Each structure stands twice: as C-alpha cells, then as structure tokens.
C-alpha cells in the first residue's frame, strides 16, 4: 500500500498517550508517514503494512527473540485520523517497564519523541481542524465540571469557529469590493455600498461584543469562581467551609487563630466550580476588615470574584457591621453578607437584624441551615442565567484578547466611514479587523503563536 502523502512532515513522532505510571493498560501513539512501517518492524502476528485503516490487531512486540508484551494495535490511515497522518496506537499492559522497552524499540527503528502538543499541532497544520478547535482539545482534557466540559465540547465541534468564520467571510467580501474600487480610483465608482458596509460592521460589533462579554462567564467556567470567605475570627468561616465541603478539611476550634493559612477547596454547584478560600489566617489584628489591608489578603480579595462576608450575629452590633459593610463596598466586588449563628437568635433579634440588613442571608453553619439558599445566591452572582445553553461561550484568554482587538479595529472602520476617510485607509482598517479575526481560527498564524499555544499541551496530546 502506498505511503500517505497528506502531511507536510517527513518524520514520525511517538509518545505515551495515557498517564505515566502503573495502570491496566498504557497506550503509545505514533503518527507520521512511517508510523505503520516502524510498528511493523517490532510487531509479530500480522503484516501491518497490508492492513486497512480503522482496524484492530492482536500480536506480540519483540526485541529480537525476546517477547516484550502482548499488545493490541489500532491502525488508522491518513487522512482519516486524528492528526491526518498514518497513526498507530499500541495498547500494552500498563507497566512502566514495558512502556519504556517498547518506546526504546520504536525510537531505535526510526520514530522520534513528540514534543508537547505535537499531535494536535500536526492535526491543525494538516487541516483537520482550526486553531480554536485545537485549543478546545486542551480545554476538554482539563475540564473538570459540567459547564467547562460543555463549553470545550461546543468549541471543539466548531461552534465558536463557525461563528467567527462566517463573520469574517462577509467582511472579506466588503474588503475586496473596496480594494476593487481602489483599482478604479480614476473613475468615481462605488462597488461597496457604504451604508451596507456600516450596517455589516455594526452587526459584527454586536456579535463580537457579545462573544467577548461571554468571557466573564467563560473564564469562571474554565477556572472556577474564586470565592473568598472573610469575617472576624470565630464568625464561623471554617465551619461554613466544612459544611459546604461536607468534610473536615479545615480545623474548627473554639480557640481563635487556629486557621493558620489560606485554605482552598473547590465545590461544584450546578456544574460551576467555586474555589473557596478561607482567609482566616490573617488575624494579627482584631479588626478583620482592617486586616484585609494586609497584602496577602488584599491580593486574594482582588483575585476574588465574590466575597462571602460572615458576621457572628451574637458578637457584633448593628453599627459595627454597618461600618464593616461600608469598607467592604470599597472593594467593588460582589459581596454576600452572611449572618451566622442564627440558631442563637431570638425571633425579635432576628427581626431587628433583618430590618437593618435586608440583603443579609441568615444561616447556621454548624447546623447546616440556609446552605441551599447560600448556594443559590452564589450562582446568582455569576449571572449564569444571562447566557442560554446554546450560546457560544468564550473561555480562552487569547480569543478574548483577539475579540477585543477586532472590536477596536471595527470601531476604527466606523469612525473612518463617519469621517469620510479615503478608501485606502478604509481598506487598511478592514484588513486589520480581518487579521485579528483570522488569528482566532488560525487562518492567520505565526510560528511563535503556534509554539506558544501548543507548548501548553501535555506530551502525547
């Protein structure tokens, strides 16, 4: 059978595709024009070079006469494979020794070790999918919540790219019309209606801005919502964290100052990861709001997407809490005010608190009362409901940056149109927008950009 010719590469790469260490099985992957021939040199059972794509083969891997393992080989012929090249996946028994030996043999027969992300990079460069989709592969592997998984899957299947590509097509049409006008500059012709162009740009801006604004949620989905629990010592912060986590990770004690450092843990609420940080470590000063001034807390707070501020309603006065709330508001972050130890309040006391702080949520951390309401409030702070299930959510910082750049250049086009700038400048501004859009999907790339993106993948991907 003929050697594949759909790839721009000459060499064949090899990596362990499964996690290193002992396991039931380990999968080694080879991709490249000699993937099948190289494997065939160490595989005994069948002549792999004579097999069709999408087939499975049982046999042994031998080093001369020594049997290294009994294996199962999946054979893919390009261009119908992940990378677009011939691909071999060897499933061995999951022993690090066997993996090492098989790799050594394959390297000896002519494969070379793959770099991080090189399989996906080849897939991209061989036209299997665009850049945004390739990046989604990394996100998919890293996704650890329902929402993160959904967003990555949507992007990998091309949802995000299609939207961008279509907008770009329309703009390309106008760019070429205006460039055509440049060729006829002596005659006073207008191939591209300025009104239509402006309408298209405005439509583009709406789409771009909505994509860009989805990043606030996208980022949260990908990285989790950084949630800081703050409040005076003994307010019940660790107890709340424990109750939410349902396990005893933080140390709860009657003595003040037992929580020495930040405690971070993640809980999943309706598919969104909330990363909780208990700032209880900072209690050198008796005034915790003041202690927020301490550099580390401050930086934690700045990173935070939401702050849960807890008050022990038995130990604080209305005036004190009011002062603290005013200071908290200076942080300009969403704050959930939580009145803890509500189990100790009389109905009368509770009413008084309620009147002074209508937004306060009454809970009892130790009795696990009010926790569901707390979770609902937390979800509200990230405005998840604003985005419907089918909407594209931008989760990638690079895309967000490019979208903002595109927005800027589109605004420049509009300004240019309004000010009646000359066609060559107009064409330049449009080209600029096209460039930024192209960088998202990879229609326009530089080697640096690719290296940067794919080096963040793991080896074997």
Residue numbers at the binding site for ligand GDP (CB under 6 A): 231, 233-239, 252-254, 259, 280, 340-341, 343-344, 364-367
Q: Smaller CB distance to ligand GDP: residue 109 or 315?
A: 315
Q: Describe the crossing of helices 159-183 and 146-156 by its angle, rounded to 10 degrees.
A: 40
In the bound state with ligand GDP, the residue whose beta carbon lies nearer, of 113 and 251, is 251
Minimal distance, residue 231 CB to ligand GDP, in Å = 6
> CA–CA separation, 333 vs 74, rounded Å?
53
135 HSE (CA, 13 A, CB side) = 24
Task: Pick between residue 164 and residue 241 the one whose CB is nearest to ligand GDP.
Answer: 241
Q: Any residues with CB less than 8 A from the CB of 104 and at least 6 apart, and which?
A: none
In angstroms, rounded to a whole number, what is the distance separating the alpha carbons of residues 162 and 178?
Answer: 25
Q: How far is the CB of 236 from ligand GDP (least distance, A)?
A: 3
**Closer residue to ligand GDP (CB): 367 or 415:** 367
Identity of the residue, 115 or 350, whose beta carbon is nearer to ligand GDP in the bound complex: 350
In angstroms, the CA 398 to CA 214 distance is: 14
CB 272 within 8 A of CB 225: yes
Contacts of 174 (CB under 8 A, 6+ apart): 192, 196, 197, 200, 430
For ligand GDP, the closer of residues 248 and 385 by Cβ is 248
Q: Which residues, including other chains, have CB under 8 Å from residue 444's CB and lie 6 or more apart?
A: 435, 438
Closest separation in Å from C-beta 268 to ligand GDP:
22
Cβ 238 to ligand GDP, closest distance in Å?
A: 3
Please state the closest distance from residue 242 (CB atom) to ligand GDP, in A: 8
CB of 263 to ligand GDP, least distance (A): 9
Residues 254/334, Cβ–Cβ less than 8 Å: no
16 in Cβ contact with 26 (< 8 Å): yes
């Amino acid at each position: 059978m003929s050697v594949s010719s759909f790839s721009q590469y000459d060499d064949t790469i090899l990596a362990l595709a499964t996690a290193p260490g002992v396991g039931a099985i380990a999968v080694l992957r080879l991709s490249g024009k000699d993937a099948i021939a190289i494997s065939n040199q160490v595989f005994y059972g069948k002549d792999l070079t004579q097999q069709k794509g999408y087939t499975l083969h049982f046999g042994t891997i031998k080093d001369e006469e020594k049997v290294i393992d009994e294996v199962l080989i999946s054979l893919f012929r390009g261009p119908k494979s992940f990378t677009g090249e011939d691909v071999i996946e060897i499933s061995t028994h999951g022993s690090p020794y066997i993996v090492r030996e098989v790799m050594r043999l394959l390297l000896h027969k002519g494969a070379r070790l793959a770099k991080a992300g090189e399989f996906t990079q080849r897939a991209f460069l061989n036209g299997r999918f665009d850049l945004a989709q390739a990046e989604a592969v990394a996100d998919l592997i890293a996704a650890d919540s329902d929402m993160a998984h959904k967003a990555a899957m949507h992007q990998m299947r091309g949802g995000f790219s299609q939207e961008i590509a279509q907008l770009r097509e329309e703009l390309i049409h106008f760019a070429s019309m205006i460039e055509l006008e440049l060729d006829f500059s002596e005659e006073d012709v207008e191939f591209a209606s300025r009104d239509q162009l402006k309408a298209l740009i405005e439509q583009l801006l709406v789409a771009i801005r909505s994509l860009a604004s989805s990043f606030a949620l996208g980022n949260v989905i990908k990285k989790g919502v950084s949630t800081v629990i703050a409040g005076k010592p003994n307010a019940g912060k660790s107890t709340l964290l424990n109750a939410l986590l349902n396990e005893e990770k933080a140390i709860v004690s009657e003595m003040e100052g037992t929580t020495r450092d930040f405690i971070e843990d993640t809980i999943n609420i309706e598919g969104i990861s909330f990363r909780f940080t208990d700032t209880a470590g900072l209690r050198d000063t008796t005034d915790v709001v003041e202690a927020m001034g301490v550099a580390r807390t401050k930086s934690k707070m700045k990173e935070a997407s939401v702050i849960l501020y807890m008050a022990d309603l038995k130990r604080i006065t209305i005036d004190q809490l009011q002062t603290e709330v005013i200071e908290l508001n200076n942080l300009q972050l969403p704050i959930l005010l939580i009145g803890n130890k509500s189990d100790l309040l009389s109905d009368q006391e509770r009413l008084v608190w309620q009147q002074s702080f209508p937004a306060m949520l009454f809970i009892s951390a130790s009795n696990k009362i009010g926790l569901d309401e707390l979770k609902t409030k937390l979800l509200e702070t990230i405005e998840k409901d604003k985005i419907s299930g089918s909407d594209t959510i931008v989760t990638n910082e690079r895309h967000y940056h490019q979208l903002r750049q595109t927005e800027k250049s589109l605004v420049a086009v509009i300004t240019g149109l309004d000010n009646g700038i000359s066609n060559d400048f107009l064409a330049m501004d449009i080209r600029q927008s096209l460039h930024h859009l192209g960088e998202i999907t990879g229609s326009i790339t530089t080697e640096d950009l690719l290296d940067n993106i794919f080096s963040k993948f793991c080896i074997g991907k």
